[in-house]
Structure formats: structure tokens, C-alpha cells
Chains A and B, each alone.
Chain A
Amino acid sequence: MPVPQTSDSVADSAVTARAVPGPAALFRGFARVGLSGFGGVLPWARRLLVETERWLTAEEFNVLLGLCQFLPGPNVINLAVAVGVRCCGWRGAVAGVLGLMTGPFLIALLLGLLYARYGEIPAVQSMLYGVTLVGAGLIIATGIRMGINVKQRAVYLPFAAAAFIALVVLHWPLPVVMIGGAVLTVSLSWWQLARQARVVRT
């Protein structure tokens, strides 16, 4: 099963978005995305939105995704809301999220029931232990990929390291780290952007 890539290509950006889907089409489209995504659904969302259905251009997708990733909350659900609301208001947002979540939600319930029944079997526990370690590794890899994409790495990656140490070594509460950290980093980026704007004007 080939994985569609999230990076954009010249060929994609030449394609213009045309169709504006209704709630039913949004529901069906996002339902396909939700069920095809093992280990992350974002690449599949891109394939649907940009390549198959052409509801967005590659550029629009990158902007929307960038925003949905920097906002808190489940990224793909944010994306479904953003696309839905742009297409047909709140009805579109609800249709997109329900489409995305209904199938995986029911499958999760089924797996939960199987776990409640067979979870005590030692072989099952050993398999899940191995999967936990791989899952942790996948999340660390995602973090590294996100770190490579941070702009002005020399300035901002020390903040990433500080947040990591505060959470892992010092065990500070997460809301404190995130809200305190955001006040610092956003003030810095605001000041940088304000200075750039002044330089451009003079």
C-alpha cells in the first residue's frame, strides 16, 4: 500500500480547486480518509482533498494544515472542521468530523471489547508491549520531523529543548509549560516580526 506524501509538488500546485462539496460529499470523503489511515491519516487527507476530489489546491492545503497543526486539538479533526466550514458552514464542519470519526470510533469500541475479553492473555500483553515501544518511537520520529521544519532553528529550538526538559526531567505540569512557554516564544516572534516590518518600511 503506497503512502501518499505530504510534500507538495509542482504538478499539484498547477491544478486548480474547482468543486465545492456539500455536506453529504464531505461526510463520504472524510469517511474514506478516516478508515484508510493506519498510523496517521494526514497523508490520506491530502490525497483526498488535493488529488482525488480537488476541493483545495496544494497551496491552500499547506496553509490550512499549517494552521491546524499549530492550533491545539487533534490535527486531522481541526482540518475536517476547517475544510467543512469553508465549503458549507457549520453543517459542513459537522459532516466532515462525523465522517472522519464514525468508522474509526466504532472500530475502536470493537477493539476495546476484544481487549476487555482477551487482554489478560500473556501473549496478547507481550505483543501490545512491543507495539507500545514502536508507537513511542513513531511519536519521537514525528517530533524530530517537526523540529526539522521549525523556522529559525537556532533561535527557537532551544525553547523546544527547554519544554522537553521541563516536562520529562522536572515533571512540571503541562499547562504551566505550554502557557508559560507560549507567552515567551510568541512575545519573541511578535517582537521579531514587528522589527522586520519596521525595517521594510524604512
Chain B
Amino acid sequence: MSLLLDLFISFFLVAFVSFGGASAVIPEFYRIVVTEHGWMDARVFTELFAIAQAAPGPNVLIVTLIGQHVDGWQGALAATVGMCLPMSLVVGLLFKHWDRLQDWRGRAAIQLGVAPLAVGLVLASGTLIAHSAMPGWAGISLVVLTVWLSLRSRLHPLWLILLGAVFGFTGLV
């Protein structure tokens, strides 16, 4: 029971600072589940991240996979609800009273001010994830190639994920 509560509270707290969505706080998940609690090692963590990337659905599913690895389906549920509930409540309340907030200067100020922090957070997240996989030069090149292809071509992300699996399987990276 206390393990479920631990999972729930850990993700509940991260949710409040997850500016830029779930993928922005993956290093924070890493800190909690690998460094702080020792629920899994670094390899398992990066592999669960890879599975979440390849699965259909919102990228918050990494939380589901972490929860499941720690404590089965109940853990998956506790972690996922913990991650989704806090801001769902805030967003729900906010949009019920949305018309009254439309012209409030604080809204515009928050929107303008928080965006650059989310950018820093998301970029840091991608960098730290790549770092935790401990890539060699070939691996770093694959990260750079992915960034370039993703920005320059209209290739569907699924093709890039497939490319990663093929590169990994054939031992090119």
C-alpha cells in the first residue's frame, strides 16, 4: 500500500512543475525512480522510455510503464492518475470560469513568461535522456540526425522510431 502511495505522491508533485508536458520532466522521473528510490536501474528506465515512445497515445504513458514496472497494474494506475489528476483539476476549474479570466493581464503575462522556461526544460529533457543512454559518437550522430530530419522533413515520427530500432538492431549505433 505504501508503495502505491509513494508512486501516487511522487508523480502528483512532479505534475505541478511539468511545464511543457510529460516529456519535459522525464529527467525528474529518472531522479525519483532511479536515483532517489532505486525502483529500477538506468538501463530499464531508458528502455521503458523507448517503449513509451513507440506506443500509441499521449507521451504521459512513460509514467504508466514506470508504475507498472514498480508495482504491477495497480502501480500503473496510481502513477498515471497521480500525474494526470492535479492539472486536470486546475484546468477544469480554470475553464469553468474562463470568460472572467479572458482580459486579466496575469493570464497574458504567464503565457508570455512561462513559454521560454518550457523551451529550456524540454531541450534539457531531450539532452539528459540522450546522455543517460550513454551513446558513443554513432549514437550522438543518430540523435542529431533525428533532430534534423524531424525539423527539415515531414516524415512521420513513427518512421524515425523504426529507423532507431533498425539502427539499434543492426548494431550501427
Chain A residues near B (Cβ < 8 Å): 1, 3, 34-41, 66-78, 81-82, 85-86, 89-90, 93, 97, 100-101, 103-105, 107-109, 111-112, 115-116, 119, 123, 125-147, 149-152, 156-157, 159-164, 166-168, 174-175, 177-179, 181-182, 185-190, 192-194, 197
CB-CB under 8 A for A75 and B163, given A90-B92, A105-B64, A108-B65: no
Residues of A within 8 A of B112 (CB): 151-152, 156, 185, 189, 192-193
Residues of B within 8 A of A174 (CB): 17, 25, 27-28, 31, 121
Other contacts beyond A133-B164, A194-B105: 20, CB < 8 A: A39-B161, A70-B110, A70-B111, A107-B57, A119-B44, A125-B43, A128-B168, A130-B167, A133-B173, A134-B160, A134-B163, A136-B129, A139-B126, A140-B130, A144-B151, A161-B120, A168-B128, A174-B31, A175-B17, A186-B113
CB-CB under 8 A for A129 and B21, given A71-B91, A143-B122, A186-B114: no
Chain B residues near A (Cβ < 8 Å): 15-23, 25-28, 31, 43-44, 46-61, 64-65, 68-69, 73, 76, 80, 83-84, 86-88, 90-92, 94-96, 98, 105-106, 108-130, 133, 135, 139, 142-147, 150-151, 154, 156-158, 160-161, 163-169, 171, 173
Residues of B within 8 A of A135 (CB): 49-50, 52-53, 129, 161, 164
Give the CA-CA distance A186 to B113 in the complex, in Å. 5
Give the CA-CA distance A69 to B126 in the complex, in Å. 18
Q: Is the CB of B22 within 8 A of A74?
A: yes
Q: Is the CB of A73 within 8 A of B91?
A: yes
Give the CA-CA distance A136 to B170 in the complex, in Å. 20
Closest residue of chain A to B128, judged by CB? A168
Q: Is the CB of B119 within 8 A of A147?
A: yes
Residues of B within 8 A of A146 (CB): 20, 115, 118-119, 122
Q: Is the CB of A133 within 8 A of B88?
A: no
